[in-house]
A and B are shown apart, each in its own frame.
Chain A
Amino acid sequence: MDFFIQLFSDPIGFWNSHSLLISQIGINGMIAISMFLVLYSGQLSLAAPGFMAIGAYTAVLLELHLHTPFALDVVVAVALAAVVGFLVGLPVLRLRGVFLAIATIGFVEALRLGVILNVPITGEGLGLKNPYADPLGGINPILVSLAVTVFLAWRLTKGRLGSAWAAIRQDELAALSQGIHVARYKMVAFVISAALAAYAGALESHLQFFVDPGDAQYGVTRAVQVLTFAVLGGSGFVLGPVVGALIITLLPWIFQSAGAYINIVSGVFLIAVIVFRPQGIVGRGGLAIVRPAWWPRTRAHAPSPG
């Protein structure tokens, strides 16, 4: 409870003492939008942690070895991730649904186990020390980036590109009949998503003095966490995954008083959200609480004409 008491009674003190947490929320929010973009175009891609790793390692290695300004590191990292995203997308985007998810997990694990844990320059699994990191200075650029990203993603879904994505998500065959180049638009979404994940990854690496190549950072665990952002928040609207990221990042603080049972309590909370809000916290129909389908004697389901 201390957490919330401080949040409401002393917001400035809270801001100063929790700046790392707030930065992390911003980072996760951006990764959530990266997830949103692929889901919005109908692709269940779990590749985000892979591109985050590309962003993080590229930025840190440039900083360590070439001592370039951090802004330039980030630009190079994003460009590299976009190129890798395009190359990975060429074969992988022929797949759909759960098959795409498995293929992208393959990419994430191949990158982590095959490259990052094996190559001397990335520390061979021991991690990288990064003395140039700036844990406290990141908060403002990160929050500004998050706001800009939310705005851009929201605008993107409104225009011709967004219409095409929505059409592809709903029905690829019907989208083809409207003259939409399905493969191209899926690739555009995948590459933008990769670049955004790399951007978030690069900023994240600058928050810690140590780049940890663990599973929870750049592996399947992280991929599942990112997917949970979108499922929990709802993927129909840009803010959904961001809200999901906010809640998941805060879970350890929200349920602080549960002590040793925190994982159980958090799990029950997530299950309850999915049961009562299957479309996510932010979804069509606002924030109303609806009764689940199995609730006795509710409204009729399975409407059928005739």
Chain B
Amino acid sequence: MLLRLDSVQRHFGGVHAVDGVSLEVEKGSIQGLIGPNGAGKTTLVNVVTGYVPIQSGRVWLESDELTALPAHRIAGHGVARTFQNIRLFKDLTALENVVIGMHTRRRDDTLAQVATLPWFQRGQKQRFDEAIALLESAGLSPSVSDRRAGTLPYGDQRRLEIARALALQPRLLILDEPAAGMNPSEKQGMRELIERLNDTGLTILLIDHDMRLVMGVCKRVAVLNFGKKIADGTPEEVSTDPGVIKAYLGTGGEKEVRSAPGATGGTAELGETAVGARAAAEPEKAILDVFELTVNYGAVTAVHDASFRVAAGEVVALIGANGAGKSTVLNTLSGLLRPASGSATFDGLDLTTARPSEIVRHGLVQVPEGREILARQTVLENLELATWGRHDAKATARDIESVMKRFPILGERRHLGAGTLSGGEQQMLAIARGLLARPRLLLLDEPSLGLAPQMVDEVFRAIAEIHREGTTILLVEQNALRALEIADRAYVLETGRIPLSGTGYDLLHNPSVRRAYLGG
């Protein structure tokens, strides 16, 4: 056994984040660790790596006891990790990031470098060569080595974080949701990378939401729920365990299995989805009219001649893989970005010149990707801030009450810090905040990002309800299947262009949608 946990405990106040978990990771294996949102997976990783002090229990790495060591010593013992929300040294180059990873096995060369001795230069050259090799083994091209880490595309940042962890020459590599927010083809690439690393003899502890990834790549899988380990075994054993199915997929599990995030699904499977016939053609009279919109970031064209329309009362989805330009479109509509050419009008207002505040007052409200709630303020304060600028105190209070009724969990937790909410609850809060601005058109940017399947269901249920009550919605989603289920019409965005559009029902059955996603 490489890693051994013996009834590890960690409470936060009254919350049993990790409650007596014992776990063994065999040397040379890939061990999976799964569980619904808030099951304590990340807390367990933080306890093992020394980021959160352990309260009781013990941790061994072979014969070395890691219990209660500080984080840097644990890393020194050869436990490398990545972070759920990517923590690169953003302003340093990719190469510098990897070189910093070599810290623990690098002789202290302070005096040599101060005296400018040649062996420092030789060592530096060696480190750079090794860092480039590590970048390559993590699947990055050497050409990224001089780019600042923060400017790399999302998938490359994930890979760079792995390259940095490999620079430690770890005995155990802990990957915390390495495939979060990736599209199916990127996930496949990540899966191949994990398998390739394991082939070199590296032991990997893999935490992820995505059942397909974990089940496909791991030899053994442990399942956490409410801080307790509820199952441990081969993927087959775990996936048929009734307790796991209930914990992970919620009730009515079959539906969620079919539409879990990242599920690509064949058309035959999709055929069973009952979606009524809906209006197909582009509307004559649109509340939002976007025509040949082009947006650049410096020399890079992110959105290229995109045209689409949204009529009052519709749900329109904008789907596409990571980096397709979806958020760029929304940010342009909200006035945060300015297009290079093209037009965008919302109910008579020219969105390409209006100030963001004017756009919001006109009724076009964006719920940003990543939720962007104020973590240190309470739920109520977050909601109250959303009504800032409104002067009708009574109506405001009534609106706040009504969104709390819509999302009862927010009402229950109104006096808790928003940062203590789970990801799904934070998404609810972000949507509620958007509603308080009394939108006529609500832009939702990736509402299902990083949520467990059960929470995704709830979020989409809430979106459908808001729509039923008369709000027009423009929905940007990477999780195409879910978005298409509730959308009247949809546009597929692929590397900044819109090659495809149609009713949600049509696109659900269109094989080119899959192609747009998988890039094949």
- B338 near A177 with CB under 8 A, answer no
Knowing A155-B116, A174-B87, A178-B164, the reply to whether A167 touches B49 (Cβ < 8 A) is: no
Cβ contact within 8 Å between A179 and B168 = yes
**Which of A152, A171, A178, A306 is within 8 Å of B75, CB to CB?**
A178
Which residues of chain A from 292 to 306 have any CB-CB distance to chain B below 8 Å in the complex?
297, 299-306
Assembled-state Cα–Cα distance A175/B88 (Å)? 9
Interface size on B, residues (CB 8 A): 62
Identify which of A156, A166, A179, A181 gathers the most chain B CB atoms within 10 Å of its CB. Answer: A179
Q: How far is the CA of A159 from the CA of B123 in the complex (A)?
A: 10
CB of B76 closer than 8 Å to a CB of A: yes
> Among A163, A174, A300, which residue has its beta carbon within 8 angstroms of that of B338?
A300
A156→B114 contact, CB < 8 A: yes
- List the 10 closest A-B pairs by CB distance, nearest first: A159-B113, A179-B75, A179-B104, A170-B89, A174-B87, A176-B71, A306-B327, A179-B76, A305-B154, A300-B337
B298 in contact (CB, < 8 A): yes
Q: Does A150 contact B (CB under 8 A)?
A: no
A160 touching B103, Cβ below 8 Å: yes
**Could you tell me if A159 and B104 are in contact, using CB atoms closer than 8 angstroms?**
no
Are A306 and B116 in touch, CB under 8 angstroms? no
Contact across chains for A160 and B75 when beta carbons are under 8 A apart: no
Q: Which residues of A contact B478 (CB under 8 A)?
A: 306
- Minimum CB–CB distance from A150 to chain B (whole Å) comes to 13
Note all chain B residues with C-beta closer than 8 A to A299: 297-298
Closest chain B residue to A302, Cβ basis:
B336
Which of chain B's residues have a CB closer than 8 A to the CB of A272? none
Q: Are B153 and A305 in contact (CB under 8 A)?
A: yes
A180: chain B residues within 8 A (beta carbon): 72, 100, 103
Given A166-B92, A179-B75, 4 more A-B residue pairs with CB atoms under 8 Å apart are A155-B116, A167-B92, A167-B100, A177-B49
Complexed CA–CA distance, A159 and B328 (Å)? 40
B9 at interface by CB-CB < 8 Å: no
A167-B100, A302-B336, A302-B337 are known contacts. Are A174 and B72 too (CB-CB below 8 A)? no
B8 to chain A, nearest CB (A): 19
Contacts of A166 in B (CB 8 A): 89, 92, 96, 100
Contacts of B103 in A (CB 8 A): 160, 163-164, 167, 178-180
Q: Please, how many angstroms separate the alpha-carbon atoms of A178 and B71 in the complex?
A: 9
Residue B497 at the chain A interface, CB threshold 8 Å? no
Measured between beta carbons, the chain A residues less than 8 angstroms from B338 are 297, 300
Q: Are A177 and B323 in contact (CB under 8 A)?
A: no
Bound CA–CA A159/B99 (angstroms): 10
| Cβ-based interface call for A182 (8 A) | yes
Q: List 21 A-B contacts (CB under 8 A).
A: A155-B114, A156-B113, A160-B106, A160-B109, A160-B110, A170-B92, A173-B83, A177-B80, A177-B87, A178-B101, A178-B103, A178-B167, A179-B76, A180-B100, A300-B337, A300-B338, A301-B337, A303-B297, A306-B325, A306-B327, A306-B446
Tell yes or no: A161 within 8 A of B by CB. Answer: yes
Please, which residue of chain B has its CB at the minimum distance from the CB of A305?
B154
User: In the bound complex, how far is the Cα of B115 from the Cα of A160, in angstroms?
Assistant: 14
Point out the residues of chain A lying under 8 angstroms from B73, CB to CB: 179
Is there a chain B Cβ closer than 8 Å to A96's Cβ? no
Q: How far is the CB of A135 from chain B (nearest CB, A)?
A: 32
Answer yes or no: B172 CB below 8 A from chain A CBs.
Answer: no
Docked CA distance A300–B301 (Å): 11
User: Which partner residue on chain A sits nearest B449 by CB separation?
Assistant: A306
Q: Is A129 engaged at the interface, CB distance under 8 Å to the other chain?
A: no
Among B75, B298, B327, B476, the residue within 8 A (CB) of A177 is B75
Interface residues of B (CB under 8 A from A): 49-51, 70-73, 75-76, 80-81, 83, 87-92, 96, 99-101, 103-104, 106-110, 112-116, 120, 124, 153-154, 164-165, 167-168, 295-298, 322-328, 331, 336-338, 369, 445-446, 476, 478
B88 (CB) vs chain A CBs: closest residue: A174
Which A residues lie within 8 Å of B96 (CB)? 163, 166
Write the chain A residue with the least CB distance to B164: A178
Known contacts A160-B108, A160-B109, A178 near B120 by CB under 8 Å: no
The answer to whether A159 and B109 touch (CB under 8 A), given A170-B89, A173-B87, A302-B336, is yes
B297 contacts which chain A residues (CB < 8 A)?
A: 299-300, 303
Q: How far is the CA of A175 from the CA of B168 in the complex (A)?
A: 12
Q: Nearest chain B CB to A286's CB is how many angstroms away?
A: 16
Check A178–B104 contact: CB distance below 8 A: yes
* Least CB separation from B77: chain A residue: A179
> Shortest CB–CB separation between residue B157 and chain A, in angstroms?
9
Interface centre among B96, B114, B298 (most CB of A within 10 A): B114
Select one of A159, A177, A302 contacting B110, CB under 8 A.
A159
* Contact call A177/B81, Cβ cutoff below 8 A: yes
Q: Is A18 an interface residue (CB 8 A)?
A: no
* A82 to B336 CA separation, bound complex (whole angstroms): 49
Alpha-carbon gap, A45 to B324, bound state (A): 43
- Chain B CB count within 10 A is highest, among A152, A176, A182, for A176
How many whole Å from B371's CB to the nearest CB in chain A?
Answer: 13
Compute how far the CA of A170 lies from the CA of B87 in the bound complex, rounded to whole angstroms: 9
Residue of B nearest to A157 (CB): B113
A158 at the interface (CB under 8 A from B): yes
State whether A159 touches B72 (Cβ < 8 A): no
**Which residues from chain B contact A156 at a C-beta distance below 8 Å?**
110, 113-114
Q: How far is the CB of B253 from chain A (nearest CB, A)?
A: 29
**What are the residues of chain B within 8 A of A152 when measuring CB–CB?**
114
Return the chain B residue nearest A300 by Cβ.
B337
Residues in chain A near residue B104, CB distance under 8 A: 178-179
CB closest residue in chain B, given A161? B110
Smallest Cβ-Cβ distance to A304: which chain B residue? B327
Contacts of B108 in A (CB 8 A): 160-161
Chain A proximity of B172: nearest CB distance (Å): 13
- Assembled-state Cα–Cα distance A139/B177 (Å): 59
Contact of A163 among B75, B100, B112 (CB under 8 A): B100
Chain A proximity of B234: nearest CB distance (Å): 30
Contact A173 to B51, CB < 8 A, known contacts A166-B100, A306-B322 = yes
Chain A nearest CB from B208 CB (Å) reads 19
Contacts of B446 in A (CB 8 A): 306
Pick the residue among B75, B154, B298, B331 that contacts A176 (CB under 8 A): B75
Check if A178 sits within 8 Å of B110, measured CB to CB.
Answer: no
- Inter-chain CA distance A160–B103, complex, in Å, is 7
In the bound complex, what is the Cα–Cα distance between A284 and B99 (angstroms)?
20
* Residues in A neighbouring B81, C-beta threshold 8 A: 177
A114 nearest CB across to chain B (Å): 35
Interface residues of A in 110-167 (CB under 8 A from B): 152, 155-156, 158-164, 166-167
Residue with the highest number of chain B CB atoms closer than 10 Å, among A152, A174, A175, A303: A174
